[in-house]
Chain A
Amino acid sequence: MEQQHYLMPLIMVLPLIAAALIRIIGDKNPNLREAVSIITAIIVFGLLIPLANMVMQGERPSFLIAEPFPGIPIELSLEPLGMMFALIAGFLWIITTVYAIGYMRGHHEKNQTRFYMFFAIAISVTLGVAFSGNLFTLFVFYEVLTLSTYPLVTHAGTDAARRAGRVYLGILLSTSICFLLLALIWTYYLAGTLEFTSGGILSGTASNMTLSVILLLFFFGVGKAAIMPFHRWLPAAMVAPTPVSALLHAVAVVKAGVFTLIKISVYIFGINTLIELPGREILLYVVAISILLASLTAMTKDNLKARLAYSTISQLGYVTLGAILATSAGIIGASMHIVMHAFAKITLFFAAGAILVAAHKSEISQLDGLGRKMPFTFAAYTIGALSIIGMPPFGGMWSKWYLALGTLQAGELFLLATLMISSLLNIAYLLPIPLRGFIRQPENQEPGLKEAPLNCLIAMTVTSVMCLVLFIYPDPWYMLASMIVD
């Protein structure tokens, strides 16, 4: 057994301690309660940095938690992709907490203690997903993440929230129990292990047909990646408070899904095995259709958060596509898209929430002229939107570049076309919002309308500046991503 490395479990336990403290402090002292959240988030991110340095130097720290089945441990073990995911989740937790303070107070949400508590728990579990050392551990944290975010999705406690909660749990649990778990046990039965291994563990264990079935079970089983037709939970989850939509349903939860898919492609099947499977062809087309359909659906949505949700479904398709292209550029593009999309999409959600708090508007058709009153919010939104479209000088360009390169390497021109058409659709459904805000004349302007709370503005500024920084300085992410395919 390798040496036990205690930094990872420590990083996971800290948010849990924070959750306990938050529960104890409660509503009596909101300032202290929120200070605990922020300070913990900063410490967690601070501790992630030395880990990142270790990973960059090629170390693979690991920690054994338990061994529920002989030969199948619950184990943490860090590799570059997990490091990327942990870093974004950790960094954006800080920003989202800053934002949440402004939002939750500005919006007078109830049960804020419960909100911060489950938020911290969800982050701990997300880090667990990122640190997972084998597929079994990943599955365990994946399931716990579904359950621990359920109270956040249904935070409002209304009938609408209850219905959304049913869709959320219904789809995520049924796909993961019926497909993912079956594929997991099947993989274990064939390969006798669930360790993440470079080159995969499944090659040569069964016929290509059987492996194709397992591949499809895996990809549809990871409901969090929101491949159509199992995407309905994501728009449903938008009933949650905006910080939840922003961090969990644009970053942590959905990225946990596509992260799992990349891990499965690279470390369970292995690129060389994957490329020979007939099931992969089917998946490629399903994902391409999913990308386009989600973009088209987004255009029909007038509710801003719903439009963003469908946009996320489409963007998750990019990552999934990269994962099954089974080319090195595809994997690099997919991993970098996790990062780039995270910063851009969280900016958009922050802006949507800010508009809701300041102007009480949730529909796009109501936004006419609002940009003049809320210039910072709309500017941040524009930057996020441009980054998602893939325009320079914003980070989103790089990941699209590598994904496009990946489709060429694989010789799939149809998919290249899909990516390009989808980018055009992105323009068509994302940019009308700032256009309405800045150019159109307001119909009947309510007096006393002003910018969003300061906390919200700070958060948006940081994430939109990051979109720019990621364009100029994508090197560390590129380095980590290229370590995956080495």
Chain B
Amino acid sequence: MISDNLPALQVVLPLIAAPLCLIIHRPKLVWLFALFICLISLGISIELLSAVINTGPISYEMGDWAPPWGIEYRVDKISGFVLLIVSMIGAVVMLYAGKSIEHEIAPHKQTLFYSAYLLCLTGLLGIVITGDAFNIFVFLEISSLSTYTLVSLGKDRRALTAAFQYLIMGTLGATFILIGIGLMYMMTGTLNILDLAQRIPEVLETRTIRAAFAFLTVGICLKLALFPLHLWLPNSYAYAPSSASAFLSATATKVAIYVLLRFVFTIFGVTFAFEIMPMGTVLMLMAIPAILIGSTVAIFQQNIKRMLAYSSVAQIGYMILGISFASVTGLTSGILHLFNHALMKGGLFLALGGIAYHMGAARIEHFKGLGQIMPWTMAAIVVGGLSLIGVPLTVGFISKWYLVLAALEQGYWPIAVVVLVGSLLAVIYMWKLVEAAYFNNVEPSEVVVKEAPLQLLIPTWLLIGASIYFGINTDLTIGVAQQAAEMLMGAGQ
């Protein structure tokens, strides 16, 4: 009985838990409760993904209303994979949040944080699992609104303006998406994704559908912070609470990329998007400056959370670049990097949170001598940094390998060079930290700081450790990503 309803529970469970947090009210208990919910969500995701791998896509009819009239929840390889990413990061960061939030947020607001966090999780999981275009918009709004709350809870007052900036840009994006979905509904009379995919080809030649395609692309690119639509991202990540930065950087943009894949590949199809419309060129022309400019700007940041945020802009560029090739290898690299980047960037933001825990912030000057004071946290940052650079035996290398291979397959060797130059820029910004941490002796007058507490270290190392493990054993990641890529490429033909 329960196992039949797993797709619904995946979303409903955190949705119901969110208001319950307000009833429980005591921060410590709320945290335990939220952690419990996150772990169950993770369990459900694992169960769903393994079911999909073993027996094929799962279709679930909400309230027994048959699609396309009712809302369908649908788990296939790619959505199962993204569900796993989101709920895994959700659980690990929640484990971390207990100690970190207690320190960062005023007691009366802590419950609010957990509640918003669970709502955000609901929204993100919902976007991924639903098979209904309008439903995607609904969940997108749930996740966005709760994200604004999460960002604004940061203790730096600039968090408020960052959240407001994000609100404006996010709403613009969501509106564009809504317009796009509306136009599609106008032409086809359906909202179910599979149904749309069948009906769209009949009306593909109309200007309305092309307008819908344009609105959707721009709207989604705003949500996934593709250069030059990334302006909301650096401030939001920099001033949000540590746990929120880690959670959002590892999941929110990834889910937006998933939505892009869904609309472009499943609904419109490869032929329309990449041959009739110049999707590939457009994405490529935005991804390349994203990589180069994002990484370069990262080098000059003094606030390290901002630095990582700009690095995210560049890494999103890598994913989009992979997608823009519209080849199986390119898509594989994009989907792989969704997972791999979530691990390393999540881990790095958690490590920064450990530094901010004692230092109050994570600016470059706080790193002086940290190699001695916080050896484990710094080691995590070094390993995470190596992964961002793309050194072998880390996940970053795996995705970079496929990306370069995909570029060479298309004969675009200058683009392969761009990817590798991006790695060099990453060396520069990560090595700034290493030099600050290991080449300065501690000044005795400094506030007495010590290693971050275990409750912060363990989740950090869970993600950093995973970014090594999945850099060596890639059976799961490459296997799923490749099959998902083949599925997406096949969908439009």
Q: Which residues of A contact B (CB under 8 A)?
A: 66, 68-70, 74, 139-140, 143-144, 147, 154, 157, 161-162, 165-166, 169-170, 173-174, 177-178, 181-182, 185-186, 188-189
Contact = CB atoms under 8 A, between A and B. Distances in A.
Contacts of B478: 69-70
Contacts of A169: 427, 431
Given A69-B474, A169-B427, A181-B420, 15 more contacts: A68-B472, A68-B474, A70-B478, A74-B472, A140-B392, A140-B393, A144-B393, A157-B438, A166-B431, A173-B427, A174-B427, A177-B390, A177-B423, A182-B417, A186-B408
A74 B392 CA distance: 11
A114 to B, nearest CB: 11
Nearest to A146: B391
5 contacts: A144-B392, A161-B439, A174-B424, A178-B421, A185-B404
A169 B430 CA distance: 12
A2 B91 CA distance: 42
B424 A173 contact: yes
Contacts of A68: 393, 398, 471-474
Contacts of B404: 181-182, 185
B458 interface: no
Given A68-B471, A68-B472, A185-B408, A162 B424 contact: no
B417 A178 contact: yes
B432 to A, nearest CB: 11
Contacts, number: 69
Contacts of A140: 392-393
Interface residues of B, number: 29
Nearest to B470: A68
B435 interface: yes
B482 to A, nearest CB: 8
A371 to B, nearest CB: 38
A69 B398 contact: yes
Contacts of B398: 68-69
A162 B439 CA distance: 7
Contacts of B421: 178
A68 B392 CA distance: 10
A68 B409 CA distance: 20
Interface of B: 386, 389-393, 398, 401, 404-405, 408-409, 413, 416-417, 420-421, 423-424, 427, 431, 435, 438-439, 471-474, 478
Contacts of A147: 386, 391
Contacts of B393: 68, 140, 144
The 9 closest A-B pairs by CB, nearest first: A140-B392, A185-B404, A66-B472, A189-B408, A178-B420, A162-B439, A177-B423, A68-B474, A143-B392
A144 B391 CA distance: 8
B400 to A, nearest CB: 8
Given A68-B472, A147-B391, A182 B427 contact: no
A369 B393 CA distance: 52
B56 to A, nearest CB: 22
A181 B404 CA distance: 9
A140 B386 CA distance: 13
A189 B405 contact: yes
B420 A182 contact: yes
Contacts of A161: 439
A182 B421 CA distance: 11
Nearest to B439: A162
A169 B427 CA distance: 9
Contacts of A188: 405
A169 B471 CA distance: 22
Main secondary structure of the interface of B (DSSP, over half): helix
A189 B410 CA distance: 11
Contact of A66 (B413, B423, B438, B473): B473
Interface centre among A68, A154, A165, A189 (most CB of B within 10 A): A68
Which of B392, B416, B431, B478 has the most CB atoms of chain A within a 10 A radius of its CB? B392
Contacts of A165: 435
A170 B427 CA distance: 8
A182 B392 contact: no
Contacts of B391: 143-144, 147
A51 to B, nearest CB: 24
A182 B401 CA distance: 9
A264 B283 CA distance: 37
A220 to B, nearest CB: 14
A256 to B, nearest CB: 15
Contacts of B423: 177
A178 B413 CA distance: 12
A177 B474 contact: no
Contacts of A144: 391-393
Contacts of B431: 166, 169
A469 B424 CA distance: 45
Contact of B424 (A74, A166, A177, A189): A177
Contacts of B473: 66, 68
Given A140-B392, A143-B391, A185-B401, A178 B439 contact: no
Given A69-B478, A173-B424, A154 B439 contact: yes
Given A169-B431, A186-B408, A178 B471 contact: no
Contacts of A170: 427
Contacts of A162: 435, 439
A23 to B, nearest CB: 11
Contacts of B390: 177
A140 B413 CA distance: 22
Given A66-B473, A70-B478, A177 B420 contact: yes
B408 A178 contact: no
Contacts of B408: 185-186, 189
A68 B478 CA distance: 9
A150 B431 CA distance: 12
A147 B383 CA distance: 11
Nearest to B404: A185
B389 to A, nearest CB: 8
B424 A157 contact: no
A74 B472 CA distance: 9
A70 B431 CA distance: 32
Contact of A139 (B386, B392, B417, B427): B392
A154 B417 CA distance: 30
A333 B393 CA distance: 34
Contacts of A74: 472
A174 B420 CA distance: 9
Contacts of B435: 162, 165
B196 to A, nearest CB: 34
A188 B408 CA distance: 10
A181 B420 CA distance: 9
Nearest to A139: B392
A70 B424 CA distance: 27
A185 B401 CA distance: 7
